[in-house]
Chain A
Amino acid sequence: MKNRLTERGMYAFMRIITYFIVVVIGYILFDIFRGGIGAISWKFLTDSPRKSGAEGGIFPVIVGTLCLVLGTIAVALPLGMAAAIHLSEYATQGRLTRAIRLAIVTLAGIPSIVFGLFGLGLFVIFLGFKASILSGSLTLACMILPVIIVSSEEALKAVPRSFREASLALGASKWLTIRRNVLPYALPGMLTGSILGVGRAAGETAPILLTVAAFYLPKLPHSIFDQVMALPYHLYILSTQLPDVDAVRPMQYGTALVLIALVLGLNLAAIFLRIHFRKKYRW
């Protein structure tokens, strides 16, 4: 009888711990939402910042982050998907493949600030791209490459062998088989995983801190060689670098909410896409 009681107690304890984690996450989201919703208005979203961001809106900041995200996608998506196709369809067990896989895992574990140092050393200084959208996008692309490769490979592996065998048996070449009979079915899964990577790129601060982000630059970029402001860095500036940080609290919450909406919106889109396609393709 006493054992049964301790057992019940232990279960309750484990449940409380789990619920506690969930409640904390919920509270963070709730707090940002509650604080930010009042600050967000059409004017806030479409106006330029004034007085180092203490007044005005965050329009150039949003544009800056979108530029970085698009640049990152343009570089990382084709590279990552091509690498995944190689690993899943062509690669044989061997030293080279093992080295590639080790490199991917290593890349996934490198801290974001180290990517920032790398981008500073290679793109900003050595290649002379200066602090620019180009440098920032390339740095972020290197950072999210492993996410895209790993999830794309999983999507490719999920396409049944029989799809490939049927096409090969009819005399189609390997690439034709992949293009016609594998990629169309794997593409939704590949995109889903990639969106998660892109979401991560949109929210990262440390790499862009050293490669692109401007402290205060209230105008729109003209080319990929321009500096821009970006949402994560702007939030950091607003909450720690301004003379009177308490006075700009609403601006901080507003920026945080826009950033979270962008990143979590991307993540949620990926989750819904996954559910949708899982229902559509069943084999």
Chain B
Amino acid sequence: MTRGHWNDKVIQLLLLCAAMFSIIVVALIFLFLTKESLPFGKDPGFAALLGLRWNPVSFEKPSFGIIPLVTGSLLVTALAILFAVPFGVIGAVHIAEVARPAERELFKPFIELLAGIPSVVIGFFGLVVLSPLIKNIFNLPSGQSALTGALLLALMAIPTIITISEDAIRSVPNSYKEASLSLGATRLQTIWKVTVPAASSGIMAAVMLGVGRVIGETMAVMMVTGNAAVITASPFESVRTMTATIAAEMGEVAFGSAHYRALFCVGVVLLLATFGLNLIALRVMKKHRIARE
């Protein structure tokens, strides 16, 4: 064995350790979120989380029901996806199939730029520009509503949806389109009846990743949804999401208190939700790749 050989072995081992670091971080995230939230099961008990009221700072009887937070997150997410999916998919189809090359070269990086704008800046824009606009258009007492948050979130999900869907649409083999065109279908029919269905699993994955981004988004939502922990299905009412609750309250809780534990429980719910969404998206994308081959 030469010295050079040993050197190579050591470096190979170091590189492997660096690669393993990702696994370690994921494990630590699950470990520490569980560790900090588990004691909640002993004191108020996990059943308290299923309550319908979130009022952790009440002096007489604090309540830790996360249902209003979950419904708040779901309402904002559902609305955001309702806006983001049609815009994202139509935008992706346009950029992939219709736009001139020069247009595509310009639009794609520009839309990706949107993904680079920090969420707190989007939230600030929402607070100063969008929120008063919503208030005036719908004649509401306050512009701080689920709708305002959803519009901002849609804006933040659109680059994810466009980038991944566009790749999926562009990877549809030309032979599919040629076959359709040669049978006398118009270009538009080919796009919507052949190309988009062929790319549908990639588009689904894009939507799923978009949903993941929307559920986990914190700052923009916290700044414009008004943060009232009520159960509602109205887009014009103020809601409080899971993410905003953690961000707004973690700074003021006593370390180790039931409230502190409850916020970590909310974190676990968020972690599991995004983890599940990602796994599904991954599976769908894999299917897409296999179908392509």
Residues in A lying within 8 Å of B, measured CB to CB:
3, 7, 10-11, 13-15, 17-18, 20-22, 24-25, 28-29, 31-32, 35, 78-80, 82-83, 85-87, 90-91, 99-100, 102-118, 120-122, 125-126, 142, 145-146, 149, 173-176, 196, 199-200, 202-206, 209-210, 232-233, 235-236, 239-240, 249, 252, 256, 259-260, 263-264, 267, 271
Determine whether the beta carbon of B188 is less than 8 Å from that of A103.
no
Q: How far is the CA of A29 from the CA of B93 in the complex (A)?
A: 25
Known interface pairs A7-B188, A14-B90, A199-B116. Does A260 touch B111 (Cβ–Cβ under 8 Å)?
no
Q: In chain B, what residue has the closest Cβ to A25?
A: B114
Cα–Cα distance between A196 and B163 once the two chains are bound (Å) = 16
Closest to B215 in A: A111
Knowing A18-B90, A83-B15, A117-B33 are in contact, say whether A28-B117 is a contact too (CB < 8 A): yes
Contact B87 A175 (CB under 8 A): no
Kindly provide the distance from the CB of A253 to the nearest chain B CB, expressed in whole angstroms: 8
| Residues from chain A with Cβ under 8 Å of B113 in the complex | 25, 264, 267
Please judge, given known A-B contacts A86-B15, A99-B23, A209-B251, whether A112 and B218 are in contact too, CB under 8 Å: yes
A79 to B15, CA, bound (A): 9
B34-48 vs A, Cβ < 8 Å mask (1 yes, 0 no): 011000000000000
Q: Are B219 and A236 in contact (CB under 8 A)?
A: yes
State the 5 A-B residue pairs at the shortest beta-carbon distance, nearest first.
A111-B216, A203-B118, A82-B18, A121-B32, A109-B278
Number of A-B contacts (CB under 8 A): 240
Q: Which of B59-67, B94-102, B175-183, B232-240 contacts its partner?
A: B94-102
Query: Would you call A105 and B118 a contact (CB within 8 A)?
Result: no
A87 and B33 in contact (CB under 8 A), knowing A21-B158, A125-B255, A142-B25?
Answer: no
CA gap between A20 and B84 in the complex, in Å: 13
A113/B270 in contact, CB under 8 A = yes
Among A110, A117, A121, A146, the most chain B Cβ lie within 10 Å of the Cβ of: A117
Rounded to whole Å, the gap between the CB of B119 and the closest CB of chain A is 7
Interface string of B140-163 (1 = CB under 8 A from A): 000000000000000100100010
Contact A203 B121 (CB under 8 A): yes
Q: How far is the CA of A200 from the CA of B29 in the complex (A)?
A: 20
Known: A100-B23, A113-B247, A117-B267. A260 touches B121 (CB 8 A): yes
A256 to B129, CA, bound (A): 14
| Stretch of B5-13, B50-58, B74-82 lying at the A interface | B5-13
User: Bound state CA distance, A206 and B23, in angstroms?
Assistant: 23
Q: Is B165 an interface residue (CB 8 A)?
A: no
- A90 in contact with B15 (CB, 8 Å): yes
Distance of A131 from chain B, by nearest CB (Å): 10
For B21, the closest partner residue in chain A by CB is A79
CB distance from B177 to the nearest CB of A (A): 16
B109–A271 contact, CB under 8 A?
yes
Residue numbers in B under 8 Å from A142 (CB-CB): 25
Bound form: Cα–Cα A225–B117 in Å: 29
Known A82-B15, A106-B26, A240-B223: A174·B32 in contact at CB below 8 Å = no
Contact between chains at B94 and A111 (CB < 8 Å): no
Q: Is the CB of B243 within 8 A of A175?
A: no
For B271, the chain A residues whose CB sits under 8 A away are 110-111, 114
Q: Is the CB of B247 within 8 A of A31?
A: no
A20 to chain B minimum Cβ distance, whole angstroms, is 8
A112 contacts across to B, CB distance below 8 A: 216, 218
Whether A203 contacts B25 by the Cβ 8 Å rule is no
Within 8 Å by CB of B278, from A35, A106, A175, lies: A106
| 12 new A-B contacts at CB < 8 Å, known A100-B22, A175-B8 | A11-B98, A18-B90, A21-B158, A28-B117, A28-B125, A31-B125, A83-B21, A106-B278, A113-B243, A209-B247, A236-B120, A271-B109
Output the least CB separation between B56 and chain A (Å).
16
Specify the chain A residue showing the minimal Cβ separation from B242. A113
- The CA-CA distance from A281 to B278 in the complex, in Å, is 36
Question: In the complex, which residues 249-292 of chain B have their Cβ closer than 8 Å to any Cβ of chain A?
Answer: 250-251, 255, 263-264, 267, 270-271, 274-275, 277-278, 282
Shortest Cβ distance from B90 into chain A, in angstroms? 5
A21-B129 CB under 8 A given contacts A86-B15, A263-B118, A267-B113? no
